Each structure stands twice: as structure tokens, then as C-alpha cells.
Amino acid sequence: MTRFIRNFLSTSSLLFNSNKRCISTTTKVCTFFERSEKGGYESNRPLPPFKERMRMGLAELKKEVALWSEELKEKFKDDPILLYRRGEVDVVYKFQNEDSLNKWIVTSDKDHNEGFSSSSLELTNHGKALFSGELVLRVPKDGRVKRAGYCNIKTVKPRKSFKRETYLDWSNYNMLVMKVRGDGRTYLLNVHTKGYFDVTWNDMFNYPLFTRGGPYWQIVKIPFSKFFLSSKGRIQDNQGWIPLDKVSSFGITAVERYAGEFSLEIDYIGLEYDPSHTEEFAYEMYKLPSGIANT
């Protein structure tokens, strides 16, 4: 056994030396490692008793079987020939009832003891979603002071029947379309692509949403080629286009340099294919020296 370990280490060292790298276990090299997907923002709520979990699981079983049967029907009825007409928007998120709000998660810095902001997502009397609240830039004296002054809504992670993880496939579209009515603030649109490894858990593609304010609705069309890559709120040097077949969630963030109330009314969020838009990526790609960013 000792000989096997010695041979393995010697072989590994040759492989790493051929790539001009070495095996190291120092903290500096391993700073990319993430212990969890949420980066320390897990919920500390205790689990219910075992009998209660069994009862809840049996109640969910009927729903999961029904969802599984619907998946089978869609698989056999799906037409492999898809036609996307110019100007037609496929609505992904429409806010018509309370069930549509269950697909979204509302968070703010107050939830993690990082600030005093508050937000909510509610239905209006006209069947629209209202994302509103108050941004507070005051940093708490105790608790976590890493971030303060943000409110966010995010879609629930997509899952197949029996809680199987999956992705949203938006690869057949090149435009994000939204009908909104804002307050003049600038919001941040987030397309989250989780990936498989811990270094990509926090990869997110962003683009600002500029609202006019006033009583009129506005229809916003944003090409996916305009979104830029960020991780943990920092724009990355090594940019690239969105893997639209691996979208794990979509979100909207209210975060600005001045505090106060905010209000964003949303009618729908959809996707569109525009054949006249041929741009793959809007930003110039620079080849940086080795050691600064991956090329």
C-alpha cells in the first residue's frame, strides 16, 4: 500500500510538472474552494421530527407522480421541429395568481444580519407582480458587515419529478423580453449558471435594467450577448457568453448608491428569437498575461 501511494505521488508530480504547476496545499492556492453552494448563507432552521417528515413526504409523493406523468406526456408529444417567428415572445414567468409567486424567493440584507433593508413580492389588483421595499445603506454594528443595501428576487431552482435537479434550456433564444413599470431606479438582471464544480457555483451573468419611472409601461428587449460575467459581485477579467442551456435561475436585484424606497411592477418575463441579431458577444476579449487571468 505504501509503495502504491509513493508511485501515485511520483506520477502525479510528473503530470503537474508537465503543465508547469505543482501540487500545493497552502491556503493561498486553495482559496477558490467552496464548502457549500450558498457560500455560508444556509438556513439554520432545525428539521422537523422524523414522523412529520414522513407525513410530508407521503403528501408530496402524489404530486411528484403526477409531475412525472406529465413529463412523459411532453416527451412523447414534443415536436422535434420547432419554429420561432420573429416578434413572438414566449412568456416564461407570468404573474396571475398566488401560485406564480411561489416560484420566486425574496431576500434582502436583513435576512442574513447584514443590513436593514426590506423587500416583498406581491400581487397587485390588476394581476401584476410588485417588487417593492426600502434600501437601507446603514451597516450594522454587529453581525455580518460584508454586504449591505440590497434586495433581491430569484426564481426557485428548477427540478424535475422526485426533486431531480435540472436546468432551464434557453439556447433557442437570443433575447430577454420584459414588460415592466419602474420608479426611475436602475435594477440588475441576473442569469445564474451554476455549473458542476465549486469554482462555477457563483458564476452569474448581469445586465442593468434602466427604468423610466412614471405611469407608463415599458417593454425591454435585452440581447443575451450584452450580459457580462461576474462572480460574487465582481466583474471577471475573463469574459464569455452565457451557456443558455445551463441556466439555473433568473433574478432581479435592487442595489444602488442611494437609499430609499423602490418599486418595480412586472407584467411578464419572456424570451424571443430575433434572427436579425447575429452578435455572439458584445465585449472585446483580451488575452492577458499568464498569472493574471485564464486565457
* pLDDT, tens only, 245-289: 999 999 999 988 889 999 999 999 999 999 898 898 888 776 667
Q: 118 near 107, Cβ under 8 Å? A: no
d(CA 223, CA 204): 16
HSE-up of 171 (CA within 13 Å, CB side)?
6
Q: pTM for the full model?
A: 0.75
d(CA 252, CA 204): 12
- Chain centroid offset of residue 113 CA: 22
Name the helix (H) or strand (E) containing 96.
Answer: none
pLDDT: which is higher, 16 or 173: 173
Mean pLDDT of the chain: 80
The residue whose grid cell reads 414588460 is 179
Name the residue type at position 87: G
d(CA 34, CA 293): 19
Q: Would you state the pLDDT for residue 76?
A: 65
Q: 195 near 252, Cβ under 8 Å? A: no
| Per-residue pLDDT band at 181 (split at 50, 70, 90) | very high
d(CA 178, CA 266): 8
> What is the arithmetic mean of pLDDT over 146-156?
88
> What is the arithmetic mean of pLDDT over 17-37?
47
Q: Would you state the pLDDT for residue 122?
A: 95
Q: Which CATH number fits domain 88-272: 2.60.40.10, 2.60.120.430, 1.10.468.10, 3.40.50.300?
A: 2.60.120.430
* C-alpha torsion angle, residues 119, 120, 121, 127 (rounded to 10): -120
Distance in Å from the first CA to the final CA of the chain:
40
> What is the arithmetic mean of pLDDT over 234-250?
88
For the chain, which residues make up each domain, given as ranges? Answer: 1-31, 88-272
pLDDT: which is higher, 273 or 161: 273
Q: What angle do CA 193, 198, 203 make, to 5 degrees?
A: 30
